[in-house]
Structure 1
Amino acid sequence: MTGTDGVLSLKRFTEIDLSDPFFDSLKADYPGFDKWFEKKKNERAFVFLDDYGKLQGFLYTKQESEQLGDVSPIMPALHRLKIGTFKVNAHGTKLGERFIKKIFDIAVTCNVVEVYVTVFPKHKGLVSLLARYGFVKVAEKMVGGLPEDVMSRSMVSLGATATTSFPLVRVTPRTKHILLSIYPQYHSKLFPDSILKTEDTSLVTDTSATNSIHKVYLSSIPGLEDLLPGDTILIYRTAEAGKSAEYSAVATSLCVFEEFRWLNSFKTLEDFLSYALPYSVFDRSELTDLYAHRKYTRVIRFSYNIALPKRIIRKVLADTVGLNRAERWSSVPLREAQLKQVLGLGGVSASLIVNTP
């Protein structure tokens, strides 16, 4: 079975082999696909090559601002990101999710109001994946005499759940906020968009855990079992070896809590591996050892929503934000005002944080 340990990279159309059987279904669905591909020769797309160098995923996007007059009903002019071409050979892997994350990364960078895609209803796996992350059918488009669904996702309005809202973060008066520490050797693998300039980027490989939306974190820290879905987690990368924590320990990322599990709730090793392996920095042998020795009894799952453009050092967290230096910063409660102050200092767009009653 094709795994997810291949490489997701940006390539020019001229570097991509259109004769690859991967494109056969796209050619069948879209008359003139070959000509369209040729016209894009100076543009780039994201592709995924598996461990054997075989093409397993393709994503092309572009920004638009005009009215969409070729769909019914007509969609008004907006700053949109169009998913022009998107296909994955999922084979039961998390590959589709990795592409979805890339789509949202692009959407946030481009500061668009909406993301949309056209997809034939027969592609049920892709439709289901898109729906999971908040895409809904808003119109239809005729292609070769057949109707395509136009699926859209707002980048300014919340969905019904944290997943359908991703990467937006909902904050309510009941939302709890914590700062959670993670060691440097695990940080860059789990949060690649939050890597520091002082870190070796070769540590970041394009693995399932690295590029997934969801993360699994094992810990012995008390209190994590009290978190509720929707609570926020500010990731704090601890100090580098031999360097002052005041300047090398930093807040880097904002995540949204999804689920807590006691390690003992997994009745078998395989149950645990099925849950943790796709989203953990630990490999199969390491997780097997952790399960056997019960070193970390708390297992939490959360989504990786925002990488702070500017990392906030411990000195600022203490002197400006008001965190207590005398406390051990393994898990520290934050007030809403403190969280927002950190995000402001970190250059996070206010549009990504949505307050609700």
Structure 2
Amino acid sequence: LLLFAPKCNLAHCPNFGVHHKIYVTIFDKTDEQKRLIELLTEWGFIQHGIKKTKTGDELVFVRNFAPIFVPANPKFSYPFISANQQIFLCPIYPEYHTELFPDSILTTESPINFQENQPHRNALSKVYISRSMNRNLSPSDVIIFYRTGGYHKSVVTTIGIVESVIDGLQSEDEFVLKCRKRSVFSDEELKKHWNYNIRNRPFIVNFLYVYSFPKRPNLAKLIELGVIDGVDSAPRGFEPISKEQFKLIIKESRSNEGIIVD
């Protein structure tokens, strides 16, 4: 299935937008098949009918891939995003960037270092932890990830879409449990993040990886475009940008504008 293939995000596929529906047939006899059916429905597939075969009845599932957007559940309209939602720049350190976004690898990095199969690399659903002053994110908001590195080496690379925000957790164990496997951090590293500042506990942003920019505008270009005011204004947390600034990034990065529905 294209939707779940780790290295074939639909927004990057050559025929994206050509076919508005995808059909899947599957038996529902084994636990593995039933789990796959749960996964299909989680991503917006609905049962369309039954296909009679010599080996039994197969369930037919269908999903609409027309350019629509479902704010209440972005998985149902993935990989489409809306520019009418809140849009944020979000920093990520170089040592974590490609570990979380292997499809956004830089030309200066070696793919050999990211070949090991890890859940947080392959999953479309990922976790970002933050102590940002701005915690006013909502489901379906857009995140532009900004790989830090200085005036010339800082670049925007990746689009994500918010699934949910979890704040106000009361215990270390709960925090670790909700981040495990979809975060770049080990359990021990998560515990350190939780206890780093007891007056400002981290919160969790569950998000979907959507798209890697073909071209990555750096901080110098973002300042030139007016997306960031200056070097001292580079994002340190979730920094809101306007719809117009977002579209400047999309144009400058030579992105597939078909993923934006409005």
**Shorter-normalised TM-score: what interval?**
0.7 to 0.9
> Is the CA contact (8 Å cut-off) linking 1:176 and 1:232 kept in structure 2?
yes
The one-letter amino acid of 1:197's match is: T
Shift of 1:256: 0.8
Q: Secondary structure at the match of 1:140?
A: strand
CA distance in 1: counterparts of 2:226 and 2:158, whole angstroms = 16
User: 1:159-308, aligned counterparts within 5 Å?
Assistant: 160=70, 161-172=73-84, 175-204=85-114, 205-223=116-134, 225-239=135-149, 245-262=150-167, 264-265=168-169, 267-294=170-197, 297-308=202-213
Unaligned runs of 5+ in 1: 1-60, 62-80, 82-98, 240-244
Shift of 1:104: 5.4
Shift of 1:351: 1.5
Please, what TM-score do these two structures have when normalized by structure 2?
0.85
1:328–1:312 distance in 2 versus 1, CA, 3 Å: closer
The one-letter amino acid of 1:115's match is: I
Shift of 1:186: 0.6
Shift of 1:193: 0.6
1:249–1:328 distance in 2 versus 1, CA, 3 Å: closer
Matched, 1:111 2:111: no
> Is the CA contact (8 Å cut-off) linking 2:11 and 2:256 kept in structure 1?
no
User: 1:66-145, aligned counterparts within 5 Å?
Assistant: 100-102=4-6, 105=9, 108-112=12-16, 113=19, 114-122=21-29, 123-144=33-54
Q: Which deviates more from structure 2 when the two are superposed, residues 179-188 or residues 330-339?
A: 330-339
1:107–1:300 distance in 2 versus 1, CA, 3 Å: closer
- Give the match for residue 335 of structure 1: 242
The one-letter amino acid of 2:126's match is: K
1:154–1:347 distance in 2 versus 1, CA, 3 Å: farther
The one-letter amino acid of 1:280's match is: S
Q: Secondary structure at the match of 1:257?
A: strand
1:347–1:154 distance in 2 versus 1, CA, 3 Å: farther
Matched, 1:311 2:216: yes
> Is the CA contact (8 Å cut-off) linking 1:107 and 1:115 kept in structure 2?
no
CA distance in 2: counterparts of 1:103 and 1:141, whole angstroms = 30
> Whose strand fraction is larger, Structure 1's or Structure 2's?
1
Q: Secondary structure at the match of 2:254?
A: coil
Identity score, percent = 27
Shift of 1:101: 4.5
> Is the CA contact (8 Å cut-off) linking 1:321 and 1:341 kept in structure 2?
no
Over residues 178-225 of structure 1, what are the superposed CA-to-partner deviations in whole Å (9 max), with x where a residue is unaligned? 1111110010111111111012323323211111112211222210x2
Unaligned runs of 5+ in 2: none
Shift of 1:125: 1.4
Shift of 1:177: 0.7
Q: Secondary structure at the match of 1:280?
A: coil
The one-letter amino acid of 1:254's match is: I
Equivalent residue pairs, number? 249
> Is the CA contact (8 Å cut-off) linking 2:91 and 2:146 kept in structure 1?
yes
Structure of greater Rg: 1
1:293–1:140 distance in 2 versus 1, CA, 3 Å: same
CA distance in 1: counterparts of 2:52 and 2:226, whole angstroms = 54
The one-letter amino acid of 2:22's match is: V
Shift of 1:293: 3.4
